[in-house]
Amino acid sequence: MSVGRTGAIALVGLNGVRVDIEADVASGLPRFAVVGLPDRSLAEATDRVRSAIVNSGLDMPSQRVTVNLSPASLPKAGSSFDVGIAIAALAATRQVSLDSVARTVHIGELALDGRLRPSRGVLPAVLGAARAGAKVVIVPRANLAEAQLVEGIESVGAVSLRDVARWHGANLEVHEEPVLASAQGDASEVALVDELDLSDVIGHQSAVEALVAAAAGGHHVSMLGPPGSGKTMLATRLAGILPRLSQQQALEVACVESLLHESGFSELPVQPPLEAPHHTATPVSLVGGGSGVIRPGAISRAHHGVLFLDEAPEFSRVALDALRQPLETGEITVHRANQSATFPAQFLLVLASNPCPCGNFGVRGEECTCAVDVRRRYLARLSGPLRDRIDINLSLSRVTRIGQQLAQPTTTSAEARERVARARDVSRARWHGLGFEMNAHVPGSILRRQEFCLPGKATAQLEKGLDNGLITMRGYDRTLRLAWTLADLDAVASGVIKPPTLDHVGRALLMRRENT
């Protein structure tokens, strides 16, 4: 007998790495061993594979079977190697074609009756297979639509191990078998933020304009105000005014979702995601991690969308400070003892805070019961380095005289989204040659180049604040980026594209320092 070889994919974060599965059948006492740094769930594959082969009407070798997962130095986790292990063993005993098996990548977990269970991470795994040069990939039928989103590779959906074996030349009768579905529900069943329209917001027109600026330039926002002032209403409508996802952005968002859901989806998302974790969330749930398989956290689920932290001072300080590095880099690398994984994390951060624990400080007609040091400690839970990464600070108050407010014109999400898209087109045209699309992502070193450097008159107030220690160098650059965004929005309204003026820089500085 010869060695059977086939392919599988190991996921390291969102990166799919090809794994060669080699099965050798030799004389000796019956034994089924898997080597090559498998985790516990993968080591248990031997029992699943043995039962699946027998219950599929195929012959399980009654000799010593050794399966090697190469490269052996790469940690491998999960049950998606089951099908590849079974097919490699069948190839070693010549029950299927050696050549056909060697050309194919297999993804999927086996049930004891031989059917293929839907797997997590099929989309990034198929992407990894395509990048590795594979031409054919076999996936569970429930994940087929998801796999077919990847171009340049033939995706085949299989209901059972019998289907896979027939694909590789085994002479088996066709049996109609029900498709195994996931108990987790459909990954495409997500809440539509389109139902939350910006026109619902009454009496906060300046805050609405600030959100438009945040969406246009990719600037982070903090809102401070008493309960009932509209912080949550504003924050949950921010994702609805972001432009629809591009093909590449949608693929990145879908890859993150694929890691979290076993059931597939048939089309890429178009709506930017909105994530709003509870204030009891742990640092791991926010940034990602886990003791076994490293999973993405809320910041990666909010990739190309909005991460809303309501009651921000109630989050643990460790969890909040864990956001500082991804806010700068747009990604998060989670390190563990035996491996590390990198996930995308380019999101708009929105913080909402009450002015004090009771929420009544500064509210007319309400009595605040919080001592001065209690209020100070409460807001100090948002550390200085985190606050320094916030571009727009809004102070909100409760709306009064509702009759007059209802008579004022409101901005719809569609109108705001159009302004945001056009402003992004202006900034994209300006930075495209440098590899940037939004103002918030442009390094300060580029902003200070001769062709983008603003005249001293426009930045005089900023320079003075920097000299007096009222603003950091990071804050200086972030204020300039916000000024460019305000200039882009004015260019959309006037049709004349100009660099920021003294008015734009002054407005940006005021928006940055409003509640700090």
Q: Express each pLDDT in 87-105 by its tens digit.
A: 999 999 999 999 999 999 9
**pLDDT above 70 for 63:** yes
Q: How many residues does the chain have?
A: 516
Instruction: Tell me the sheet residues that pair with 105.
Output: 7, 137
DSSP label of 120: T
Angle, alpha carbons 146-147-150 (nearest 5°): 110
Q: Provide mean pLDDT across the span 171-184.
A: 74
The pLDDT score that the predictor gives to residue 159 is: 95
**pLDDT above 90 for 513:** no
Q: 4-167 belongs to which CATH class?
A: alpha beta
Domain boundaries, the chain: 4-167, 193-513
**What mean pLDDT, rounded, does the chain reach?**
90
Q: Provide mean pLDDT across the span 266-294.
A: 90
Q: Express as a percent the part of the chain with pLDDT over 70.
A: 95
Model confidence at 403, pLDDT cuts 50, 70, 90, reads low
- Where do the H-state alpha helices sit in 294-392? 298-301, 317-321, 324-329, 372-379, 384-387
Model confidence at 187, pLDDT cuts 50, 70, 90, reads very low
Bridging pattern class, strands 274-275 and 306-309: parallel
The pLDDT score that the predictor gives to residue 498 is: 92
**pLDDT above 80 for 176:** no
Q: Provide mean pLDDT across the span 104-128.
A: 94
For tokens 């839907």, what's the residue?
Answer: 118
Instruction: Tell whether domain 193-513 is in CATH 2.40.110.10.
Output: no
Model confidence at 173, pLDDT cuts 50, 70, 90, reads confident
pTM: 0.90
Q: Express each pLDDT in 311-364 by its tens digit.
A: 999 999 999 999 999 999 999 999 887 788 999 999 999 999 999 999 989 888
Model confidence at 172, pLDDT cuts 50, 70, 90, reads confident
- Measure CA 469 to chain center: 36
